[in-house]
Amino acid sequence: MTPKHFLSAAAIVLNEHNEILLIRGPERGWEMPGGVVEEGESLKHAAIRETKEESGIDIEVTKFCGVFQNVTQSICNTLFLGRPVGGELTTSSESLEVGFFPIEIALEMVTFLNFRQRIALCLDEANHPFYVDFSE
């Protein structure tokens, strides 16, 4: 049997004002940029590419934070911290709105599943690296 797991990478991007980069997707609302890792691509590069595609922002990954694994759906999401190094805020087919928001406001805006928990764990470096095993 061929293994069938979805591996994704996401970035929590903080600018010089300590604001978080969020995108508003058509299905899940506000979230951090991220997506499926392509064949032959590193986790880090996937986070950089997805952030650029979804927000227009070029980032530098500064730290690996941890992993969220949904065992029942065979999904493994890797999370990184990053900082903007270029680009301009731009929407895409995957993002209806994009912007940088103060941490407290950003956490209130993110409501999909456990995405708020993912961001909070990434922002608390005492927890790094973390591994969260959950089922939906």
Do the domain assignments include residue 1?
no
Do the domain assignments include residue 130?
yes
Q: What is the domain range of residue 79?
A: 6-134
Total of domains in the chain: 1
pTM score above 0.85: yes
User: Any idea what the CATH number is for the domain that residue 114 is in?
Assistant: 3.90.79.10
Give how far Cα 3 sits from Cα of 8, 70, 75, Å. 16, 15, 12
Q: How confident is the model over 51-95, as pLDDT tens digits?
A: 999 999 999 999 999 999 998 989 999 999 999 999 999 999 999
Do the domain assignments include residue 118?
yes
